[in-house]
Amino acid sequence: MTLLISFSEKLIEIREKHGLLQKEAALKIGIEPNTYNRYEKGTRNPDPATLLKIANFYNVSMDYLFGRSTTSTITPTETYVFTEKPDTTYGSKKRYIPIFKTIEPDIPVLEQANLEEKLEISSSIDADFAIQITGDSMSWVGIHEGDIALLKQCPEPTHGSIVAVITGAVEKKAALKFFINENEQPYLRAAHPKYKDVPLCPHYKVIGQVVMLLKKPPSSEDYNNLLVTKEIYDAQWNEAIKIATQQGLGGKELCRLVELFANMTKQVINKPSKY
């Protein structure tokens, strides 16, 4: 049993819903049929670029591909983000938007605009400002340090969209996260497994929703870091799967136990103290 069992099963399910043979799907996506076959068998891991191609082709979100969401339809924001070569040149008219490296959390974003730091974009792009990405929290969906995110101010971000958020009163750099709103409990999700989901607390400030990315070419160091990190997490999960299998537990049973334990932990944490 491998870590990709849930992904491989979901891949088969989506392909069959589209009424495609395995070879047909592979050729339409632009993947070697033998390689696609190994993805469905769970014996090979697709790289991030290939995952994005698969998500785009089937018009599903990354969370849906990995069984983390029951909502299959990709959001408009994700469609922009997952486009490998975003077109910023269409339309003859140009305009400028401010680009920020730091942001004062207590001042409205556009009031901080310094026109010496500006970015020329097409007037067709509905963006208010841009930020330069720092950190690796979204690296597993191909968003890396140094990339530029174009954002639109949005008081109520949509479920599944990528937002820029300031996470404290003294923090001056915005981080990108998925905005997840399930059962009226909004929280932030990174695309890197080392970061836990974080409830959207009152002192967190969502400053905009991503509408497009301008990417720099990834380096070999980015690729090596991904491989090393993935190997570490694969080993951890494979050990957990091995123990579960030895105890006679399947994937569904293990998921239920994890959910039960997580809910019990939340109840203990949220239980009012008597003292």
User: Which alpha helices (DSSP H) does the chain contain, by range?
Assistant: 5-17, 22-29, 33-41, 48-58, 62-65, 76-81, 220-246, 251-270
How many CA atoms within 13 Å lie on the side-chain side of 63? 19
Q: Cβ–Cβ contacts within 10 Å for residue 190, how many?
A: 21
Q: How far apart are CA 173 and CA 48, in angstroms?
A: 26
pLDDT in tens, 194-252: 888 988 887 788 889 999 988 876 667 766 666 666 677 677 777 878 888 888 888 88
Q: How far apart are CA 5 and CA 9, in angstroms?
A: 6
Maximum CA extent, the chain: 67
Residue with tokens 């990528």: 162
Q: How far apart are CA 147 and CA 153, in angstroms?
A: 19
pLDDT confidence of residue 162: 92
Q: What is the mean pLDDT of the chain?
A: 77
**94-214 domain in CATH 2.10.109.10?**
yes
pLDDT in tens, 55-79: 888 888 777 777 766 665 544 444 4
Determine the angle formed by the axes of helices 251-270 and 220-246, rounding to 10 degrees: 100
Phi/psi at 228 (5° precision): -65, -45
**5-73 domain in CATH 1.10.260.40?**
yes
Predicted model pTM? 0.50
pLDDT confidence of residue 179: 92
**For the ranges 5-9, 81-85, 185-189, the one whose mean pLDDT is highest:** 185-189
pLDDT range class, residue 3, cuts 50, 70, 90? very low
Q: Which residue has the higher pLDDT, 35 or 241?
A: 35
